[in-house]
Amino acid sequence: MEAFIQPGFWIFVLAMAGIYGVFSLGLQIQYGVAGVMNFGHVGMMAITGYAIAILVIRFQWSFWWAAFVGVALAALGGALLGLSTLRLSGDYFAIASIAFAEITRYWILNSDGITGGTQGTLAIPNPRGFGGYTDQPDVILYWIMDRLTPYLGDNASRDLAILLVVWPFFFLFLWISARLQKTSWARVLRATREDDDVPRSLGKNVFRFRLQALVIGSVFGGIAGAFWAVQFMLLAPEDFLRIVTFYGWMILILAGATRVKGLAIAAIFFGFLYGATRFVEFWPISLLSAPERSYLRIFLIGVVLIALMVKRPQGLFGKRQEMVLE
């Protein structure tokens, strides 16, 4: 139970909640606004994270340019995914999006010479010998830590610095996205969740709107990937499993897909649910081994979500009426 009461652990959980929050904001725009079911969102995170690592380590780019290009590549990934498959019906797109993320991951896994393969970004060929990619953001993070150490001592950790960087960005993105969702652009997309023929008959190029939503969501997925890359300082293919996408979906479902403001609270709620279930150590659960317990954790989160969907299909913050109209 010790870790349970350590602030360091909860700081980590909150920092991750912020990163996952940005990640699921992308899904919120895609699904909550546009009704596009993207189950390959983790692919965008992987693209940006790896682009940063490769460009900085192998080609010695500045981190900032690498991050910019990395996010642009995630947007491009979203555009390519959309151009090739968004004309399919919703179900087919959902399947294609899973394939997209899996292909991305397999490519990373099998391109040792470029990505470091199974060994992760540590094994990226580096002309200078061993090296990371976070030197430049670390300058900022350590600056923040130095300012806080006099007050917080050991608790002024790198995780805390990341938390303090990520959350303002998350709130900024929430604000932008809330404004975006008040535009007539978003109104057309909300219409397309139900029907394509009506907006088309009113002169709206439904495909263009959807593609834009997919790309914007991918940008947020990419930004989350950049934060993630900085947070962990190294990346490996198994960081980008399908389950990450589903964590993003869990936050979205918790928040209620159409309620952008619920996302911050849902992200924290998810973080604590995820963090806290690590510590269910009492009998009989204590009989299980650590990996078994981590499955149990996912199982428990699943149960909570199902209960929520039955009792409150609109999520914690959604309007019920919107879910039940016939």
Residue number with CB closer to another protein (169 or 207): 207
Residue number with CB closer to another protein (94 or 180): 180
Task: For the CB of residue 325, give the shortest distance to another protein in the complex, in Å.
Answer: 3
Task: For the CB of residue 192, give the shortest distance to another protein in the complex, in Å.
Answer: 9
Residue number with CB closer to another protein (95 or 191): 191
On whether the CB atoms of residues 20 and 247 are closer than 8 A, the answer is yes
Residues that bind another protein (CB under 8 A): 179-180, 183-185, 187-188, 190-191, 193-195, 197-206, 212, 216, 321-322, 325-326
In the three-class reduction of DSSP (H, G, I as helix; E, B as strand; rest coil), residue 266 is classed as helix
On whether the CB atoms of residues 40 and 97 are closer than 8 A, the answer is yes
Q: Tally Cβ neighbours within 10 Å of residue 72.
A: 15
Residue number with CB closer to another protein (145 or 257): 257
Task: For the CB of residue 188, give the shortest distance to another protein in the complex, in Å.
Answer: 6
Residue number with CB closer to another protein (287 or 325): 325
Residue number with CB closer to another protein (147 or 208): 208
Task: For the CB of residue 27, give the shortest distance to another protein in the complex, in Å.
Answer: 19
Give buried/exposed letters for 172-207 (b at 16+ CB in 10 A, else e): ebbeebeeebeeeebebbbbbbeeeeebeeeebebe
Task: For the CB of residue 124, give the shortest distance to another protein in the complex, in Å.
Answer: 35
On whether the CB atoms of residues 249 and 23 are closer than 8 A, the answer is no
Least Cα distance to 82 among 70, 94, 71 occurs for 94
The secondary structure of residue 182, as a DSSP letter, is: T
Least Cα distance to 30 among 21, 41, 46, 16 occurs for 41
Task: For the CB of residue 233, give the shortest distance to another protein in the complex, in Å.
Answer: 35
